Amino acid sequence: MTTDKKNPYHELLRNLTRELFQTEASASRHSRREANRLPESPPKAALNAVAEHADVALEQLKQLAEKEDLPEGSFASALGEAFSQIREHVADHMLEGERSYRGTLLGMRHGVDAVRMFGLAAKHGGFTDLARWSEQWEAQRAPLVLEVERQLEWFAEHVEKARKLAH
């Protein structure tokens, strides 16, 4: 589709695209970092699966953004990167492993909601490729996030080990 900048959905998609780049970069980075902090365990595998999917999604999103004249980065992305640095170097060091894990899961859930909104805007705005990408993304990511959520059980079953994972 040739982008129609007069389409009212295009501006909404521009804003959501910025958010998606930030949430996917966070999913890749934070999931991988949390996985590296855990011993060989089911939570580690679940986190790595999300990180790998985020890497692929970022590449696909870059191609779609270029095709539809949507932004790849912004001040918000730079701000998100700054918060990631603060989280990585300060906040996560003060949190127990379970709490940091739940924070990463919260970010994943935010990403699912952002992609869902992006897909709805794309569908209603006539951006077929973006809507299709969103549907495929959600079909792949939602089960991965559910698995990360399911792995909260590991922290309850391994309380002593999980407490030692303070950062």
Q: Which residues of 33-45 are buried (b: 16+ CB within 10 A; e: fewer)?
A: bbbebbeebebbe
Task: Answer yes or no: is 28 within a domain.
Answer: yes
Residue 165: the pLDDT is: 59
- Provide the 8-state DSSP code for 135: H
Task: Answer yes or no: is 2 within a domain.
Answer: no
Torsion over CA of 139, 131, 53 and 26, rounded to 10 degrees? Answer: -120
Tokens, residue 159: 């309380």
CATH (domain of 152): 1.20.1260.10
Task: Answer yes or no: is 116 within a domain.
Answer: yes
Can you give the pTM of this predicted structure? 0.83
Domain count, the chain: 1
Task: Answer yes or no: is 3 within a domain.
Answer: no
Q: Which residues of the chain have pLDDT under 70?
A: 1-5, 73-96, 164-167
Residue 40: the pLDDT is: 83
Are 31 and 51 within 8 A, CB to CB? yes
Q: CA–CA separation, 119 vs 162, rounded Å?
A: 37
Residue 7: the pLDDT is: 85
Are 37 and 165 within 8 A, CB to CB? yes
- Provide the 8-state DSSP code for 3: -
Domain that holds residue 99: 8-163
